Amino acid sequence: MDKPTIHMLSVQEKGGQTRKATQYIAAVAAAIGAVIAGTILAWTSPALPQLQPYVPVNGTDATIPALARSAEDSNDTILINSIGQPAEFLLDSNDSGTVSSILAIGALIIALPVGFLAEKIGRRPTILILSIPFMLNWLLIIFANGAGMLIAARVFAGLGTGGICVAAPMYIGEIAETSIRGSLGAFFQLFLTVGILFTFVVGAYTHWRALSIISAVLPPLLVIVFWWMPETPQYLLGKNRRHDAEKALRWLRGPDADISAELEDMQKDIDNASRQQGGILSIVKSRAPRKALICSLGLMFFQQFSGINAVIFYTNNIFQSAGSNIDPAIATIIVGVVQTLATYVSSLLIERAGRRILLLQSCVIMGICLAILGVYFKLQAGGVDVSFVGWVPLVCLVLFIISFSMGFGPIPWMMMAELFTGELRGAASGLSVVINWFLVFLVTMCFPLMKAAIGIHTCFWFFGCFMFLCIFFVFFLIPETKGKTVTQIQSILAGKRI
């Protein structure tokens, strides 16, 4: 598996040390799938306003009668969307809700099967196969003529997104050496935020169909780039393909690296893991896998009950409710830029600061920001003039996004791959992603209902309470995995001293 050397990035270190550039290249290639997932997650933010009907306030908008007269003269019906532009078709409130939420159902359906598929045929082929539902999503959207095609598209979008959330972190975690596993593990969330930001920026200035055509370039790009990447050495060793595993590891670590010790350690891990029967039942029978599952599912729970998806999906509504004079599209782009930059900083810090400290800062800072937001909206609802501090929602949301992106954004995905042995990683990752997407569906569906029933201020306090509870969860249960091998992590989870 001799691959061409990329001289600009791959500076060979002396003394038989590993070359890290090829590991970064492989991680970036897999993370293109995360970019696609980001574009899919953010697509509804710019697209749905262009697909929702215009509702004039008190019949005061003069453009509506003019358009109506034109329609009457030509015997045509002119549909006007919520931003005052002609539309080919529109969605009612039920269709809009389905288009937004059905993605989570697709992700729920696919997560466990993809975990088992990755164990059966490999991580690399699984990622390549996921380009199919990604492409079907964009094709259906591009040629959509009504709600039915959009809903079908979002089902395929969910299948691709849920699948890549399992396969890509697994692949990246297994191709990385211990010293940079955390930095590469943060790539999934980093590239996810890149996809979100891309959609916010392009979607703010283009038609939803044009946005979809541009986004449709990414699935073929994933295939073209990732096709040349190797399978993970751990998977190959697990399938008794030691020669192929050695070639893959040689490409990842460089031609002059001494890989014999690392290969032997991998083989020992595989041999130890093979004594355990793979699957969900075997995870709950032993102490170390059981604690790993509790940690992984707990991190996914608190990631979603931080309120992050409520903040991302309803950014425009939050700024409008706050009476901010910042254009909602610009506010959304600001949030996207901050999220991307903070996630990048996290990838630089994660091997220095460690996982636990970054998770703890997320709990504390996000909890405080949510509490302040709750107070702000409570005062506003009580008739207090808060216009002189209209900047408070922006500052709090920016701090919230920075804190999330440096902790609870990337780390749950990274630790999902770190906490389990190779034999259990597929099933455990699939289960973690199923729980994650179920919580995504629950939060995004319930947030508008909660906002209407108890007020947005109480919603923020509700999520803030979970963040303060999370401090205890992280402090007492989450192990520090920085610089630890798979065997060392399993020993920590089993309660053994290393």
pLDDT band of residue 247 (cuts 50, 70, 90) is very high
What does the DSSP assignment read for 46-90? HHGGGTSB---STT--THHHHHHHHHHHHT-PPEEBTTS-EES--
86-87 and 79-80 beta bridge pairing: antiparallel
**pLDDT band at residue 12 under the 50/70/90 scheme:** very low
- Read off the tokens for 455: 């007020």
Q: Does residue 278 carry a pLDDT above 80?
A: no
Pairwise CA distance, residues 39 & 19, whole Å = 32
Q: What is the mean pLDDT of residues 3-31?
A: 65
> What is the model's pTM?
0.84
CB of 343 within 8 A of CB of 406? yes
Q: For residue 394, which phi and psi values (nearest 5 degrees)? A: -65, -50
Question: What integer pLDDT is reported at residue 87 of this predicted model?
Answer: 63
> How confident is the model over 301-359, as pLDDT tens digits?
999 999 887 676 666 666 666 666 677 778 778 888 988 999 999 888 888 888 999 99
CATH topology of domain 21-52+91-229+276-493: Growth Hormone; Chain: A; (1.20.1250)
Name the average pLDDT for the chain: 83
DSSP string, 322-370: TT--S-HHHHHHHHHHHHHHHHHHHHHHHHHH-HHHHHHHHHHHHHHHH
Q: Quick one: pLDDT band at residue 50, thresholds 50, 70, 90?
A: confident
Average pLDDT over residues 471-494: 88
Most confident of 123-132, 185-194, 278-287, 446-455: 123-132
DSSP 227-265: TTSPPPHHHHHHTT-HHHHHHHHHHHH-TTS--HHHHHH
Domain range list for the chain: 21-52+91-229+276-493, 230-275
